Structure 1
Amino acid sequence: MVHTPGDGPQQQLDDQAEILDLDAEVLAEHLAAIVAELPFTASPRQIVDLGCGTGAGTFALLDRFPDAEITAVDSSVVHLQRLQEKACARGGEARLRTVLADLDDPVWPDLGTPDLVWASASMHHLAQPDRALRAVRDLLAPRGLLAVVELAGFPRFLPDDAPEERPGLEGRCHAASDRRHAEHVPHRGADWGPRLVAAGFAIEVERVLALAVEAFRRPAVGAYALSSLRRLRGSVADALPIEDLVALDGLLDVEGPRSILRRADLAVRTERTVWAARGANRA
């Protein structure tokens, strides 16, 4: 039986939190590598994680910089509660402060003077990202670093010629989702380099990472694919031809013969771009 996410706000937050947790689990090694390669000569002591979600970046940063304290900022109480619970389970709550805030507000709460501001998959959600970038520049300590990590788009789980009965199904689902989100999330997939420069930053690192994790290497890939494609189905079902919808439901039917969990070619494939920048002309 195919399950699709509920439409209620609480259910949507729970579904999103589940996907964030699975993304963190599946791509943990890649995320740790991104954090490890940030251009520091001395480890940061004060870190702010903007749009922290359920804590993927927060915990990667806590692990990489054991002497640092982190302020995790998000607009979702659900996400912050989940992050706090995980921190307590890991014994890291003493180094963590959570702040509930909307980063589109013109006035931010006191976030200190961090040596590092981390913004992973959060800037594209903002209505006023350029204002937020200027706020970060003013917030950072001298020689402080801003790290922006953004996704090129929705992750892919199947080859382009799959499934056999409807080749290219995933691409068509993504195209429908992109059209639907173009008005509401216009900054997704943006080139943040020019915007960082316009906000007063000097870019030190800019690189694109192609990430791929096969299901046989990470058991959570299957759960990640199911959760993500269920959420995708909920947003594009009325934009798909009936043949595509039937094929998608076949992939999502975990008990059916065409279940995505039965596919040997199941993998997570995604691209992330990393920018690391410091405030220009700041001593």
Structure 2
Amino acid sequence: MTHAHAQHNHGDGHHHHDADSAQAEILELDAEVLAEHTTEIIRWLPLHGDPHQLVDLGSGTGAGAFALLDQFPEAHVTAVDTSPGHLRRLNENACARGVDGHVRTVLANLDDATWPDLGTPDLVWASGSLHHMADPGHALRSVHDLLAPGGLFVVIEMAGLPRFLPRTAPADRPGLEDRVHAVSNRLHGQHLPHRGADWGPMLTAAGFAVEGELIVDVDVRGAGNAAIGQYALGALQRVRGSVAAELDTEDLVALDRLLDADSPHSLLRRDDLVVRTKRSVWAARRA
């Protein structure tokens, strides 16, 4: 759901595969750690009866699609993503869960002028994907035209990368995570201008009636949950690549100690990790 989710255009070849598979692992850890919050969001939705035809835009490896099918087992989901690797993994996961008959995958770039045929869904779900789009207004209008009359569009965005460490950590460089976030947010702001946007006015401008807004405070304790250490490690490894050139040298050394799985200072050996973030949700109806 990322912040990390979906609309990414990668180059081809070996690096593409590695980056794809590393991102897929993060998406699946993200889904596992945030599962209860995702269920809470789905139960909150202002639905008129159970939806039957669902579309998951920027589906990644299927966190949203499977959470929706858990709640609406009779439904059918069309999962759309730019990554063949993510969709392959989604199909494997669907088979493992025994829901492959309820899932269709579509490889598409939602920045393209015309979208493939996605049917006439009564619910469209976009978690962590809209802020990646070059022209979100075009995407919102496309969803409006796609939805069945009275259908619901659900937009979920996370407040950037989650926080994992206490502010006093690590002991030799307290506040390290704040400084990493500051650099990351500045760099993201340059090429992801819609990250952190208020989608309400944009949804209204695209012809939707916004029927509900929800802010979910995420605060998941890491003690005894190995997935959270892996999630923190994967998320901060990804961000390291973009912030390394701009971080203070001592901060980079401290970050690398946390990211070294063999170090006694590794994130994987800490018992004070948490996942702290906010998820903002908009539920908008096609009038």
TM range (shorter): over 0.9
Residue number in structure 1 paired with 2:249: 242
Hey, which bits of structure 1, 4+ residues long, moved more than 4 A? Answer: none
**Structure 2 unmatched ranges of 5 or more:** 1-13
1:192 aligns to 2:199 (yes or no): yes
CA drift of 1:221 comes to: 0.4
Instruction: Determine the C-alpha separation between the residues in 2 that align with 1:183 and 1:100.
Output: 27
Q: Deviations over 1:233-257 (max 9, x none)?
A: 1111111111101111111122222
CA drift of 1:178 comes to: 1.5
CA drift of 1:33 comes to: 1.3
**Structure 1 unmatched ranges of 5 or more:** 1-6
Residue number in structure 1 paired with 2:18: 11
Q: Which of 155, 164, 169 is the equivalent residue of 2:162?
A: 155
* 8 A contact 2:176–2:251 mirrored in 1: yes
Provide the aligned length of Structure 1 versus Structure 2: 274
Q: Which moved more, 1:22-31 or 1:118-127?
A: 22-31
Instruction: Determine the C-alpha separation between the residues in 2 that align with 1:261 and 1:105.
Output: 41
Q: Which of 195, 211, 216 is the equivalent residue of 1:209?
A: 216
Instruction: Determine the C-alpha separation between the residues in 1 that align with 2:264 and 2:226.
Output: 19
Instruction: Determine the C-alpha separation between the residues in 2 that align with 1:192 and 1:160.
Output: 30
Amino acid at match of 2:153: L
Residue number in structure 2 paired with 1:107: 114
1:124 aligns to 2:134 (yes or no): no
Residue number in structure 1 paired with 2:267: 260
Report sequence identity in percent. 61
Q: Which of 140, 143, 148 is the equivalent residue of 1:141?
A: 148
1:62 aligns to 2:69 (yes or no): yes
> Match of 2:209, SS?
strand
* 8 A contact 2:223–2:272 mirrored in 1: no
CA drift of 1:217 comes to: 5.0
CA drift of 1:261 comes to: 2.1
Instruction: Determine the C-alpha separation between the residues in 1 that align with 2:260 and 2:45.
Output: 41
> Match of 2:277, SS?
strand
CA drift of 1:206 comes to: 0.6
CA drift of 1:62 comes to: 0.7
* 8 A contact 1:26–1:218 mirrored in 2: no
TM-score by length of 1: 0.94
Instruction: Provide the aligned C-alpha RMSD in A.
Output: 1.2
Q: Which moved more, 1:250-259 or 1:122-131?
A: 250-259
